[in-house]
């Protein structure tokens, strides 16, 4: 019952984020600020993780290729598939649920407990639009981050495979181009857009509707991470079922 209530509240919040917008110029400034906080601020960690996870994928694949009949190009193929299909979009998004998500929940939650949201409302400002809409818009650039993650993931795999002596460069590159299906890239970016929306809205919901004081802000951040991660995994499952099988 309370879950149903929360889900209803969540969708009403999303609707409210799009009505009675704040003045254009103010909104534009807010969006730039969110791009800075949510997108630019995440590039470093995303780059770091992608590169090394890509490397590990290559090494693992190489170590499991015991059969000498299997071509070394398989390493490039496997790295491309796993990085583009899952590691970049899903794995990175779950990590972002921790980074971006807890940032959103705690910043909105702090505004709730210190009555800053009430202050916005009293002035006649649609606080949901003011706080949530710029985050949704900023997160629409998020697939760009995932694009970088894919690129660096494959670079990482190449580096580990070639410089680690697991496969010659030509074999890796030919494997990487083998049986390339553009639809899979579409699939990866399609789900990334959905994740971006979840990453902006679920943590915002947890911050906006939280009750209590500073202690509860911490708890809200934790549960926001859990629910965002769960939602990402479920949506990933559904989208994969629908588009790839």
Q: Give the pair of three-digit tokens for residue 48.
A: 């770091």
CB of residue 67 vs other proteins: minimum separation in angstroms?
A: 58
Residue nearer to other proteins on the CB measure, 121 or 178:
121
Burial letters 205-241, b for 16+ CB under 10 A, else e: bbbbebeeeeeebeebbeebbebbbebbeebbeebee
Residue 212 within binding range of other proteins, rule CB under 8 A: no
- Locate tokens 């680690």: which residue? 164
Tell me the window of 15-23, 165-173, 189-197, 232-240 that interacts with other proteins (CB under 8 A): 15-23
CB of residue 141 vs other proteins: minimum separation in angstroms?
A: 21
CB of residue 29 vs other proteins: minimum separation in angstroms?
A: 9
Residue nearer to other proteins on the CB measure, 116 or 174:
116
CB of residue 79 vs other proteins: minimum separation in angstroms?
A: 42
Residues binding other proteins: what is the number (CB under 8 A)? 17
**Four-residue CA torsion sign, 61, 66, 71, 72:** positive
CB of residue 8 vs other proteins: minimum separation in angstroms?
A: 18
Answer for which of 8, 9, 20, 164 binds other proteins (CB under 8 A) is 20
CB of residue 108 vs other proteins: minimum separation in angstroms?
A: 12
Binding flags for other proteins, 94-123, as an x/- string (CB under 8 A): ----------------xx--xxx-xx-xxx
Alpha carbons 161 and 152: distance in angstroms, whole number: 14
Residue 126 within binding range of other proteins, rule CB under 8 A: yes
Residue nearer to other proteins on the CB measure, 16 or 86:
16
Alpha carbons 232 and 228: distance in angstroms, whole number: 6
| Distances, alpha carbon 50 to alpha carbons 62, 94, 143, in Å | 18, 13, 14
- Cβ atoms of 133 and 201 closer than 8 Å: no
- The residues, ordered by sequence, that sit 6+ positions from 39 with a Cβ below 8 Å of its Cβ are 138, 139, 141, 142, 144, 145
Answer for which of 13, 125, 148, 194 binds other proteins (CB under 8 A) is 125
> In the complex, which residues of this chain contact other proteins (CB under 8 A)?
20, 22-23, 26, 110-111, 114-116, 118-119, 121-126
């Amino acid at each position: 019952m309370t879950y149903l209530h929360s889900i209803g509240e969540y969708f009403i919040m999303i609707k409210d984020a799009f009505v009675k917008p704040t003045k254009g110029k103010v909104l534009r400034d807010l969006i730039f600020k969110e791009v800075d906080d949510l997108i630019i601020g995440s590039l470093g960690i995303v780059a770091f993780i992608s590169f090394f996870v890509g490397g590990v994928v290559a090494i693992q694949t190489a170590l499991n290729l015991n059969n000498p009949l299997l071509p070394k190009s398989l390493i490039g193929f496997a790295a491309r598939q796993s990085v583009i299909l899952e590691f970049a979009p899903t794995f990175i998004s779950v990590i972002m649920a921790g980074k971006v998500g807890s940032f959103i929940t705690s910043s909105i939650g702090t505004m709730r407990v210190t009555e800053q949201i009430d202050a916005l409302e009293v002035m006649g400002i649609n606080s949901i639009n003011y706080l949530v809409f710029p985050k949704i818009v900023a997160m629409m650039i998020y697939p760009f981050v995932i694009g970088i993650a894919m690129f660096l993931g494959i670079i990482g795999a190449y580096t580990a495979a070639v410089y680690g002596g697991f496969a010659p460069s030509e074999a890796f590159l030919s494997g990487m181009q083998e049986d390339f299906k553009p639809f899979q890239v579409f699939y990866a970016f399609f789900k990334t857009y959905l994740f971006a929306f979840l990453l902006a809205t679920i943590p915002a919901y947890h911050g906006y509707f939280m009750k209590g004081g500073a202690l509860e802000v911490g708890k809200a951040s934790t549960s926001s991470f859990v629910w965002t991660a769960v939602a990402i995994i479920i949506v990933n499952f559904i989208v994969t079922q629908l588009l790839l099988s």
